[in-house]
């Protein structure tokens, strides 16, 4: 059994798009509404196609990915197609993800710690007559 999600035949349909000629309406007529939209400097529309199949009984019915395509379209401010990026299952394996991490900066005594300590002190000694321990 094959399950299909997203725009069918995305790999063939994206070849009909032309940079600086195709507009938003042409894209919607050809591909439909995008799976995801985002707005940075230009509009970015993302279309997804995914086909999975149920594996054999020996593999306990585990899902196998047959097709995994992603089309990223960037549309400029006047509504024309500015760039096309197409990723298929093989090209996604070539994408390098950085392993750099930002180390968190911790202080022993933050503002919240100091605030809660002073509140605890006021609760324990509301009149301020108890001798402080240092």
The least confident of 23-37, 46-60, 77-91, 101-115 is 101-115
* pTM of the complete model: 0.62
For residue 48, is it within any domain? yes
Question: pLDDT digits over 86-98, tens only?
Answer: 988 877 666 667 7
Read off the pLDDT band of 47 (50, 70, 90).
Answer: very high
Residue-number span of the structural domain to which 17 is assigned? 2-95
More confident residue, 80 or 54: 80
For residue 112, is it within any domain? no
Please count the structural domains in the chain: 1
For residue 58, is it within any domain? yes
For residue 117, is it within any domain? no
Mean pLDDT of the chain: 80
Question: Which of 59-85 are b and which e, b meaning 16 or more Cβ less than 10 Å from the residue's Cβ?
Answer: eeeeeeeebbbbbbbbbeeeeebbeee
């Amino acid at each position: 059994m094959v399950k299909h999600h997203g725009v069918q035949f995305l790999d063939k349909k994206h070849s009909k798009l032309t940079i600086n000629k195709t507009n938003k309406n042409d894209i919607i007529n050809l591909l439909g509404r995008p799976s995801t939209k985002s707005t940075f400097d230009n509009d970015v529309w993302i279309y997804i196609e995914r086909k999975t199949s149920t594996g054999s009984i020996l593999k306990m019915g585990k899902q196998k990915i047959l097709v995994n395509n992603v089309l990223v379209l960037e549309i400029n401010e006047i509504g024309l197609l500015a760039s096309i990026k197409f990723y298929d299952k093989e090209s996604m394996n070539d994408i390098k993800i950085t392993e750099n991490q930002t180390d968190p900066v911790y202080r022993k005594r933050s503002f919240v710690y100091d605030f809660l300590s002073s509140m605890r002190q006021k609760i324990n000694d509301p009149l301020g007559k108890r001798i402080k321990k240092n």
